[in-house]
Amino acid sequence: MQTLGYYDGHYDEIDRMTIPMNDRVHWFGDGVYDAGPARHYQIFALDEHVDRFYRSADKLDIRMPMEKEDLKALLREMVCKLDADSQFVYYQVTRGAGPRTHTFSEGPAKLWIMLTPQTMADGRTPIQLITAEDTRFFHCDIKTLNLIPSVMASERAKQAGCGECVLYRPGGRVTECAHSNVSILQDGALYTAPTDNLILPGITRAHLIRACETLGIPVHEEAFSLDALYAADEILVTSSSKLCVRADRIDGKTAGGRDPETFEKIRRFMLDEFLEMTEPWGKTI
């Protein structure tokens, strides 16, 4: 298969899949998701992603339709059906299907999976950023399907020829990006926002912190301002689709680029870890 879509036990090429209109995703975006890369049919950091997926569902009282281990086995099975060595593995759960009432439907929850070919970049090419006020709600720690502010911010970045939009709250506290976390290097140390309700606890952010700790780079999980971002030695953007990439422009002005050695150590470490954790193991499970 060239792509794979799965819904509630059925799967096919994505374009051939149809979804019942009364799935609550259509009325309310009532669900949560998670996603990460795979290479050599090996899903990267699967335990961490699946743990976060179940935590997100739990925070919204969505009862998962299967146990964690069964989901992992299903994802591994589906990944092997795609004719692509490198993939992006996306999955979501919606509360269920039923008439449009705000209160919960009876369930059961519906599991969705989407697999598409995608190769991991090596992080050598810097990206450009814009900034925008973070107008999202106060549950950004839950990976919900309600993504309109992120969609708007991403489109604004694209229109400006940029790869991401950095979000800040009134007062100037940088939270994260539309679909990535953002951290800075300053005087040889990493600064990254704390995992409160204003940011998604990124799996790649956690790998970045562990990489810095292993490399002897001090880590400060504390909020930083837009001014600190503009003045940072390096600006690091992390996500499951891009791992770790640096930014060299913000809002049209040159930024970062003052500590390339430290960035290179981090980039190499994280890429090597990804390559090691996705070593070939054959297409069978």
Beta bridge partners of 167: 132
> Residue 94, interface with ligand PLP (CB under 6 A)?
no
Q: Which residue has the tokens 């996603």?
A: 35
* DSSP H or E segment with residue 24: helix 24-28
Q: Are 115 and 2 in contact (CB under 8 A)?
A: no
Among 240, 256, 259, 269, binds ligand PLP (CB under 6 A): 240
Locate 128 and state its tokens: 């450009």
Among 105, 131, 204, 278, binds ligand PLP (CB under 6 A): 204
**Beta strand 10-12 with 4-7: parallel, antiparallel or unpaired?**
antiparallel
Among 203, 211, 235, 266, binds ligand PLP (CB under 6 A): 203
* DSSP H or E segment with residue 220: strand 219-221
Give the CA radius of gyration of the chain.
Answer: 19
Known catalytic residue at 143: yes
Closest CB to ligand PLP among residues 111, 243: 243
Closest CB to ligand PLP among residues 37, 256: 37
Q: Which of 143, 242, 253, 265 is catalytic?
A: 143
Closest CB to ligand PLP among residues 65, 201: 201
Direct distance between the N- and C-terminal alpha carbons of the chain, in angstroms, rounded to an integer? 17
Closest CB to ligand PLP among residues 97, 127: 127
Kindly identify the residues of this chain, within the stretch 46-65, that bind ligand PLP according to CB under 6 A: none
Residues classed as catalytic: 143
Give the residues lining the site for ligand PLP (CB under 6 A).
Answer: 176, 179-181, 200, 202-205, 238-240
